[in-house]
Amino acid sequence: MNRLYTCSNNPDVKNIIITGGNSGIGFNTAKKLSLKNCCITLGVRNIKKGAEAKEKILAFNPKAKIDLIKLDLSDLESVRSFAKEYHSRHDKLYLLYNNAGIMWNPYELSKQGYEMHFATNHLGHFMLTGLLIDMIISTPDSKVVTTTSIARLFHTVNNFKNTIHGEDYNRYRAYSNSKMMNYLFSYELSKFFQKCDVKSKSISVHPGISRTRLFLSASGKDKSLIRRFIHAASGMVISQPAAWGALSNIKTYEDAKIKNGEMVSPSVFGIWGIPVRKKLHIGRNLKYISKELWDLSKKLTNCEYKLR
């Protein structure tokens, strides 16, 4: 893709990155925003599937501006490569959707030796944001939108010794912990923007319980037929379509009143319904852990969040 759609050549075009944009909520977000004046880059682990998603979006909107760059969030080298490639193609970044994630996976370590939920859901997004922070801050009214989950309420994060490498592994706990980390990251990033006195915004989103491939396929990872049935049934009964889940993301683009340090989630118990805004809040007991996670993530990724 040439630089035709970059902000430098057309200031009205908004450059957007969506991680995991080839399916589910990320795909529906890209599809909806393709109708806006946006140049959308999908960060995808599988280029073939990304190309298929791009074709579907172009079939929906032939004028869509869609780009693809390979991105495996579990591999820090892939994250670095993505950021370098994006810098070579663009000079501004209006909106970064930290959307991709894994859920309830069997125990596995990333290429760098970190537990896979921790590596994919949190650490990769932390590094990606840090490597693009100069572009984000230099873009007027830019936003970083990070997806969390109501599962974060079941976290067991009180230290990170058993989280990084997955000792005493439990797939449900690992996922919940990673989603709390997403929430804490949004909080710390909002403080970072405030401290730097910039107009960029850090926003946390919860799409509700949505019928995505992530949720429904997770039921197949459990050998228990009863648990598979419960997961699948609950997905159909209390969840909403993936297109509805994308509404929280869309609101972060369309709502001019949204502020740094806010969260967008469905109105009904945070599960489904029209998305609403509320302030990001963490309890006193999590404030120390939140700062510890930020410092640890900088160390593990060698990413300092420097303003150039």
* Nearest residue to 198 via CA among 185, 189, 208: 189
CA distance 205 to 97: 10
Pairing of strands 201-205, 262-268: parallel
CA distance 278 to 29: 21
DSSP string, 244-305: HHTHHHHHHHH-TT--TTEEEEEEETTTEEEEEEEE----HHHHHHHHHHHHHHHHHHT---
Q: What is the CA radius of gyration of the chain?
A: 18
Long-range contacts of 174-178 (CB under 8 A, 24+ apart): 174/105, 174/115, 174/117, 174/118, 175/102, 175/103, 175/104, 175/117, 175/121, 175/149, 175/151, 176/149, 176/151, 176/152, 177/117, 177/118, 178/101, 178/117, 178/118, 178/120, 178/121, 178/122
CA distance 91 to 50: 23
3-state SS assignment for residue 144: strand
Q: Residue 37 has which token pair?
A: 């004046």
Rounded to 10 deg, the angle between the 124-131 and 76-89 helix axes is: 30
Among all residues, which ones are annotated catalytic?
Answer: 169
